[in-house]
Chains A and B, each alone.
Chain A
Amino acid sequence: MSLSGVLDIIAGRNELVEGVVLDADGLGADFETDKVITDTPTQFITLSDPTISRFLLEEVNYYMAAENAVTFQLYLLQDALADDMLSLKTLCFDSGAAQARNIIYSRLGIENKLPRVVNLVTPGKLWYLQDWSAAMGNCPGWISVRGRKLF
């Protein structure tokens, strides 16, 4: 490996990777699709570096201001696959059920099974899926992920 290649790898471990989906008024309808884990994800977060496939996922932050009093479960996936087992295999974050609206969730650390080593099938594209307990209505909110580059 060349010296510059080694430098890239070492530097990457200290280089921030982030991705955000923010829908301030709900008009983007970014969080209003109800799916279960066996469905194919159709929505994704674009990372700050669209060429990145591998990174260490350290933080997942999210907030949903759903119009209706419902709860949700948030999944992050490394690929968009339909089958149950394959979907589970690509899972890199699972919030657990019964996440409440109007609460800021900051997930980091061992208790939240983070950090995770992520290897995206499509560079720069981290899929997400929300399983709502019932119709959420209009839903402003955000999902923000952060981590460090891997090569």
Chain B
Amino acid sequence: MNPNHAREIIARGNQLIEFGLTDPAGALNYFETEGVITDTPTLFIDLNKEGISNFRLEELEYYLNPTNAETYRLILFEAAEADDLTSLSKIVFDSGALQADSTLYTFTNHEDIMPRLVKLASSGRIYYMILWTGAPGNCPGFLRGRGVGMG
């Protein structure tokens, strides 16, 4: 390996990778689009560093506060693929159903869940999808992930 490339990979291991969305009043409509698992994900979040495809996702936090009393399922994808089975193969986080409103969910070093090794199809872009049980109405909330870079 080229020594400069090796140094870069080593340095990435101590580089904070972060992505997030915050909608304090629900006016930005980040979390109000209903997703269907077999559809191609269309919503995405940019990482804080450009050019990063590989990283180790260490933490994930989210909190949604919809107007209506609905539950949801949050899914993160490393690519936007249309086909059902191929879409499923790109999931890097699945909250499971029945996530409650106004509840802070924090995953850090959870057994069987984190950390995850992520390889983004489009560098710097992680896709997300929210499956609501019904119309959420206005939905303030936030979603934040953190990790470290990889080569």
Interface pair A7/B1, CB less than 8 Å apart: yes
Residues 41 to 57 of chain B near chain A (Cβ within 8 Å): 54
Q: How large is the interface on A (under 10, 10 to 19, 20 to 34, 35 or more residues)?
A: 20 to 34
Chain A positions within 8 Å of B111 at CB level: 109-111
- Interface membership of B89, Cβ < 8 A: yes
- Interface membership of A16, Cβ < 8 A: yes
Pick the residue among A4, A18, A107, A146 that contacts B6 (CB under 8 A). Answer: A4
Pick the residue among B6, B85, B116 that contacts A8 (CB under 8 A). Answer: B6
Interface pair B89/A108, CB less than 8 Å apart: no
- Cα separation A3 to B4 with both chains bound (whole Å): 12
- Cα separation A140 to B112 with both chains bound (whole Å): 24
- Among B83, B89, B116, which residue has the most Cβ atoms of chain A within 10 A? B89
Interface pair A104/B117, CB less than 8 Å apart: no
Chain B positions within 8 Å of A106 at CB level: 112-113, 116
**A7-B7, A144-B89 known; A107 vs B117 contact (CB < 8 Å):** no
Residues 90 to 130 of chain A near chain B (Cβ within 8 Å): 104, 106-112
- Cα separation A138 to B123 with both chains bound (whole Å): 35
Looking at the assembled complex, report how far the CB atom of A14 sits from the nearest CB atom of chain B, in whole angstroms. 4
Chain A positions within 8 Å of B7 at CB level: 7, 11
Residues 1 to 58 of chain A near chain B (Cβ within 8 Å): 3-4, 7-8, 10-11, 13-16, 18, 20, 22, 24, 58
Residues 1 to 50 of chain B near chain A (Cβ within 8 Å): 1, 3, 5-7, 9-10, 12-13
Residues of A within 8 A of B (CB): 3-4, 7-8, 10-11, 13-16, 18, 20, 22, 24, 58-59, 61, 63, 65, 104, 106-112, 140-142, 144, 146-148
Would you give 9 A-B contacts (Cβ < 8 Å), ordered by A? A22-B86, A58-B117, A63-B85, A104-B94, A107-B112, A108-B112, A109-B113, A110-B111, A111-B111
